[in-house]
Chains A and B, each alone.
Chain A
Amino acid sequence: MTPLLQVQGIAKFYGARRGCEDVSFDLYPGEVMGIVGESGSGKSTLLSCLAGHLPPDRGEVIFDTRADGPRDTLTMSEPERRMLMRTDWAFVHQHARDGLRMGVSAGGNVGERLMAVGARHYGDIRDQAVDWLGRVEIAADRVDDKPQAFSGGMQQRLQIARNLVTGPRLVFMDEPTGGLDVSVQARLLDLLRGLVREMGLSAIIVTHDLAVVRLLADRLMVMKDGRVVEDGLTDQVLDDPQHGYTQLLVSSVLQV
């Protein structure tokens, strides 16, 4: 089986300071990988490099494209990469307002990616928007409301609907449950698990919340000072951590 994403030797420096270095891994279709680490560990830099938001200094991010098979997204032309970003890739931001158009209705937010790939039938676009709102548990009668009128959890679910409407194969998530109430987090986690399973999505989730990765991620990468210190099956890394830093991280979590 061809990996959906092959990451090889990614490095990004900010001047002399290391953002991340020597990061390599393969992600297979249907896999969810978590990246954990404390603030400044380089996990967000890495995600930005992988998702095409930040050009890395070194390395390759090879995606198995539908049309031409594995291609390095860093050497693709910009139009190709941007097309990828709004079709086969999706990015869920920590703050919904970074990923939504706050001045546009829920339906318009969900419909944008459809219109971006050429949908020109209002009725069809709206039907799909309503369908997706339903899948993220937002009532159909909210389709014309603006995100400002939504709670934080609803905004985050709207962001997910907006991202998944074009049936992407790879979703990048940056602290998707950060800043949400615990009860809202749980609902979102369940939703994400269901969507990952039903759509066969692959996902890369950056978070500092070990409970989130335990419930969502199949695999886990632990980062410290810009490098990957440990990786493996999520429950194995959390229950039998091999690296000192991971042991510290796991033992530092408050037990409930």
Chain B
Amino acid sequence: MIEIEGLGKSFTLHNQGGAVIPVMAGAHLRVARGECVALTGTSGAGKSTLMRMIYGNYRASAGQIMVGESDIAQAAPREIIQLRRDTLGYVSQFLRVVPRVPTREVVAEPLLTLGVTRTDAIARAEALLARLNIPEALWSLSPTTFSGGEQQRVNIARGFAHAFPALLLDEPTASLDAANREVVMGLIEEAKARGAAIIGIFHDEAARGQVCDREVDVGAFAPEQAA
């Protein structure tokens, strides 16, 4: 489902003397349907950078990133937009939403965008919020005022609202207590069971061991420092 070949990335800092900072070279990765792969490596090794490139958030400098039939590295913006709507989900560590929008709406939005009826989308959102132990009293409030853990769970609910065939999870269990961590593990297992290809960054080794089929050390994709 996700196939990465020869992927490279460098940043050019035009306002700092045009410094070119290579951060990744020759990255390759394959994730099949129903498989969950963990990205590992030291902090700064490029786990998040790789994840962001797969999502199209960072531009690839070389190589290809196939998600289904599309090459993210070459795709036009509208292809990526469409892909993000129906195929490629992403749970980041940070919640970025329009202020003052109720939590229930935030979670339902990906479904509404796909044309799911309002009733069904809200029902699905509420079920996920309940499962993630967000008190019902908070559903009609904006998540911007929530605690870090609550925001993280809203983010997860939003990411799992639609059954994406491919999922990127950036530290989904960070700042969660044991009970909620188990709920998220359950969601990931269910996604695998329905055939989703998942790439995750898990700081939590126990969680990693529990849901991931393989580990890929991103450190192996470090560029040659010679240049």
Contacts and interface: CB of A to CB of B under 8 A. Distances in A.
Contact between chain A and chain B defined by CB under 8 Å? yes
Interface of A: 28, 31, 183, 186-187, 189-190, 193, 197, 214-215, 218-219, 231-233, 235-236, 239-240, 242-245, 247-248, 251
Interface in B99-123: 99-101, 112-113
Contacts of B77: 218-219, 231-233
Nearest to A193: B98
B132 interface: no
Given A233-B77, A233-B80, A239-B52, A247 B58 contact: no
A28 B100 contact: no
B78 A28 contact: yes
B56 interface: yes
A51 B57 CA distance: 30
Interface stretch (B10-18, B133-141, B174-182): B10-18
Contacts of B56: 233, 236
B130 to A, nearest CB: 24
Given A193-B98, A197-B112, A247 B59 contact: no
A197 B113 contact: yes
Nearest to B14: A244
Nearest to A215: B98
A248 B15 CA distance: 7
B57 A240 contact: yes
Chain B contact-residue range equals: 20 to 34
B58 A239 contact: yes
Contacts of B59: 232, 236, 240, 242
B7 to A, nearest CB: 14
Given A236-B57, A236-B58, A31 B15 contact: no
B96 interface: yes
B81 interface: yes
A31 B58 CA distance: 20
Contact of B100 (A190, A231, A242): A190
Contact of B81 (A31, A186, A187): A31
A190 B13 contact: no
B14 A189 contact: no
A231 B80 CA distance: 14
A183 B101 CA distance: 12
Contacts of A231: 77
A108 to B, nearest CB: 30
A194 to B, nearest CB: 9
26 contacts: A28-B78, A31-B81, A183-B100, A187-B100, A193-B98, A214-B96, A215-B96, A218-B77, A218-B78, A218-B81, A219-B81, A232-B59, A232-B77, A233-B77, A236-B56, A236-B57, A236-B58, A236-B59, A240-B59, A244-B14, A244-B15, A245-B14, A247-B13, A247-B14, A247-B15, A251-B15
Contact of A240 (B58, B80, B98, B100): B58
B79 to A, nearest CB: 10
A204 B35 CA distance: 40
Nearest to A27: B78
Nearest to A234: B77
A235 B53 CA distance: 12
Given A197-B113, A239-B57, A248-B14, 10 more contacts: A190-B101, A197-B112, A215-B96, A215-B98, A233-B80, A236-B57, A239-B58, A240-B52, A240-B59, A247-B13
